[in-house]
Structure 1
Amino acid sequence: MTLNGIHFLTAWSAGMASKLLDRLRRTLFKEGEAVFKEPTDVTEDSFPESSELEDDTECVSERLGGTLCFDGENVLESEDPGEASGLDSDSDFLGESVEDGFGSTETSPVGQSLGGSSLLTHQLQENWRSMRSRSVPEKLLFEVTDASVVQEGSSKYVLYTIHVIQSGMFDKSPAVITRRYSDFERLHNRLRRRHGDDMERVYFPRKKLRKNFVAETIAKRSRAFEQYLTHMHSLAELRRSPTFLEFFYLGDLQAGQMLMRVGHYQEALGPLLNGLRLQEKLGCEQQGKQQPQYQQRTHWLFTLLALVTSFQELEQLGEAQEHCDRALRDLAPSQDALLQHRFHPLLIPLLQINVRLSWKISRDKRRWEVLLQEIQNSGVDVGNQPSLKEYLMKEALVESEGDSKGKAKGDDTT
């Protein structure tokens, strides 16, 4: 139904209502009499137009029914594909039109509703688009999920299990660390030495002489450690500090390396994969690219290469090739560096491993074959290269401040 048709129905309905009121007035009142008298012959048959008016109103209501659609600009689509209407089928709205007797389209609520509905729809569309395009700022959540009392000989302490979770999305692979009070205390002291100004307002839970193993103390300390890590991660200088980063992942890399040295590759996968997830969440990959001289780049590369070797030893060639490809994307040199032979010493053995693995599992290897051929054509001896496994066994995974120092006094008290 067109807009003119709707206006016509509204005007016609108003006219019919006016006629009905006139008939009712003539029936109920006699001319010239001041005293009200009860009508005697007022029946439903006296108003044959009433049923017709109700039917037409229902018809208009049905035709005005529709649903909002946000597929286009300022578009309101009706449920009936043959009808295009921007009107709300509100029965109270139609009733007001009949009772008020509006006959002009300029003052008709129908005309006003069209503009209001279009404006409302436009606002809804804009809000919907802004919500879709709005990016949730990524941050890490540190959640203590378990705290258990551990007894080792004469030593007794509380071991806290902390999940590191990426917020703003569903984290399919949260990483986990287990730390005790002395680990946090050592981290705090090191950060205070290197970042004294940034650490001034960072609260660290005090050590207690008694009641360290009661449930209330453990619960309060768990919440305090969550807030402690969250606060430090919110400060850019501390978040990028090697001391802070290595607190999370370095222990896993050292454990994986020790297991690989004794040939326990299956057991090494657990800490190595967890260490990789921790480095991903902490942004070590990007930091290593921006500052190649940082120790974090060495740790990141070691993790990928250790996974390549472990998966390869376990005959899981697909996983080995994926991590090898990822390491090569980080090590791929620029054209200038290639011409000047300035590339990582492990680039060539990695290229050879990747080409061999890709051939075995029928994956595309042309990109790395071309790069390997270019290196060979530049005069480099690709046959005399270091062993990847030998590098992994000998690499010294030390903290950025040097070898771990002795534990502080009282480490075993909590």
Structure 2
Amino acid sequence: MASRIFHRLRHALTGESEQEGLPYCGSEVEEFPESSELEDDTEGLSTRLSGTLSFTSNYEDEEAEEGAAPGGTSQDLGEALGPELLGVAPENGEHGPPVAERQGSNMLTRQLQELWRKSRGSLVPQRLLFEVTSTNVVNERSSKYVLYTIYLIRGGQFDKAPATIARRYSDFERLNRHLRRRFGSDMAGVTFPRKRLRRNFAAETIAKRSRAFEQFLSHLHSVPEIRRSAEFLEFFYLDDLRVAQRSTCTGTYCEALAAWTNAHQLQDKLGACRSRHFLLTLAGLAVCHQELGQLAEANAHSEQALRLLEAQDSHPLLAPFLQAHVYLAWMLGKDKRQAEARLQGLQEAGLAGPQPPTLKELLIKQPLP
């Protein structure tokens, strides 16, 4: 009986997700029903839904409990368990169960309510939406192609800062080829839209491909091994890093700041905040904000980087970040003694020279693939 009650409770608590058609993914790949929506251009592409697809995922190695749910109220719990289990007399005036049975039911109800309260504080998986918001046919001297603008939006909440990318068909094709080479079995169920010999620039073809690319990215993101891979992650933010680095080197800091900021948002949404690229992004943000006179923002990014480098005394960016933080803290009238002591300790241990390179110098010299 207890198992049936818990089963009803779990369905009541997760009913909202089921109604929306957004099942919990866990570590397994979702099944994608075949669709004739994309005809011969995208044969077998998987979906029956209209609008933007989203897949539930969790960047913390899918450790969320299956029963955890972000919503629900005590009223929902009561409806799920029924008046008998809550010890409430039926409205038709009939006598309820015996007192001893009601007490046992109340005890079970309290245990389930406690479990439900604990589950609300559990790790809730994040959902990431991929949406093609616009397309543009680009005519160049030697080529003509369609540029797809894609928004990455964190689902389940109001996203104040959606990140964007602009990619063409050949970019998606290159990503598909690299992933199939590395993740053959995982990519077996992923369908990619074929290139057509004609009507590539027709409105109908562009619309279908926009839909296909949304599904393609969503499917890739639903596979944990793929969404953590360098090929998948760099598809989103590597172009922004190149533009940001080039603009920083030429001293066009406003343009560089926009590119660094978008790269930061992309990495944050994709859960890539532990990579060397993320630290490089924080360095770019700190440099650009400092050059534009926005010292508080520069200091905030330096502090974030130092928190990530707390246990990495040999990292090449540590001494430059400490040096930048000492200067910014002094300019802002903040305590800089801890950063000075750590920098001195690195120098005494031979892990940093007497004059470590600045963040800007490292940004200029840092090679990007």
TM-score band w.r.t. shorter chain: 0.5 to 0.7
Structure 2 CA distance for partners of 1:165 and 1:218, relative to 1, 3 Å: same
Quick one: which of 213, 217, 222 aligns to 2:205? 217
Q: Is 1:306–2:284 an aligned residue pair?
A: yes
1:181-219 CA distances to partner (integer Å, 9 max, x unpaired)?
Answer: 111111112222233333222100011122222222112
Structure 2 CA distance for partners of 1:322 and 1:116, relative to 1, 3 Å: same
1:159 maps to 147
Contact (CA 8 Å) 2:90, 2:96: kept in 1 or not? no
Distance 1:380 1:182 in 2: 44
1:289-339 CA distances to partner (integer Å, 9 max, x unpaired)?
Answer: xxxxxxxx2x222211111111110010011111111222223346xxx5x
Shift of residue 249, structure 1, vs aligned partner: 0.4
Quick one: which of 137, 159, 165 aligns to 1:171? 159
1:108-153 CA distances to partner (integer Å, 9 max, x unpaired)?
Answer: 9997998699579748845852663454322422111112222234
Contact (CA 8 Å) 2:135, 2:148: kept in 1 or not? yes
Distance 1:381 1:209 in 2: 58
Q: Is 1:351–2:322 an aligned residue pair?
A: yes
Distance 1:272 1:328 in 2: 18
Contact (CA 8 Å) 2:324, 2:359: kept in 1 or not? no
Contact (CA 8 Å) 2:347, 2:354: kept in 1 or not? no
What letter is aligned with 2:131? E
What letter is aligned with 1:165? I
2:300 maps to 322
Distance 1:196 1:118 in 2: 53
Distance 2:97 2:311 in 1: 70
What letter is aligned with 1:345? P
Quick one: which of 334, 344, 359 aligns to 1:373? 344
Distance 2:281 2:368 in 1: 11
- Number of residue pairs aligned between Structure 1 and Structure 2: 286
What letter is aligned with 1:390? E
Three-state SS of the structure 2 residue aligned to 1:348 is helix
1:17-43 CA distances to partner (integer Å, 9 max, x unpaired)?
Answer: xxxxxxxxxxxxxxxxxxxxxxxxxxx
Structure 2 CA distance for partners of 1:214 and 1:384, relative to 1, 3 Å: same
What letter is aligned with 1:203? T
Structure 2 CA distance for partners of 1:326 and 1:111, relative to 1, 3 Å: closer
Distance 1:390 1:115 in 2: 72
Distance 1:381 1:207 in 2: 53
Shift of residue 375, structure 1, vs aligned partner: 2.7
Three-state SS of the structure 2 residue aligned to 1:284 is coil
Structure 2 CA distance for partners of 1:120 and 1:170, relative to 1, 3 Å: farther
Shift of residue 354, structure 1, vs aligned partner: 0.2
The 5 Å alignment of 1:71-220 reads 93=93, 122=110, 125-126=113-114, 129=117, 132-133=120-121, 135-153=123-141, 155-220=143-208
Distance 1:108 1:122 in 2: 19
Distance 1:374 1:135 in 2: 38
Distance 2:204 2:253 in 1: 41
Shift of residue 87, structure 1, vs aligned partner: 7.3
What letter is aligned with 1:383? P
Distance 2:366 2:348 in 1: 30
Distance 1:108 1:132 in 2: 31
Structure 2 CA distance for partners of 1:119 and 1:212, relative to 1, 3 Å: same
Shift of residue 229, structure 1, vs aligned partner: 0.9
Distance 2:331 2:96 in 1: 77
2:32 maps to none
Identity among equivalent pairs (%): 53
Contact (CA 8 Å) 1:311, 1:317: kept in 2 or not? yes
Structure 2 CA distance for partners of 1:129 and 1:244, relative to 1, 3 Å: same
What letter is aligned with 1:156? K
The 5 Å alignment of 1:12-51 reads none
Distance 2:269 2:97 in 1: 57
Three-state SS of the structure 2 residue aligned to 1:332 is coil
- Computed over aligned residues only, the root mean square deviation of the Cα atoms, in angstroms, reads 3.2
Q: How high is the TM-score relative to the length of structure 2? A: 0.67
Higher RCO, Cα 8 Å, sep 6+: 2
Distance 2:135 2:350 in 1: 58
1:22 maps to none
For structure 1, the 5+ residue unaligned runs are 1-68, 75-85, 97-106, 289-296, 399-414
Structure 2 CA distance for partners of 1:205 and 1:115, relative to 1, 3 Å: same
Structure 2 CA distance for partners of 1:135 and 1:332, relative to 1, 3 Å: closer
Three-state SS of the structure 2 residue aligned to 1:285 is coil
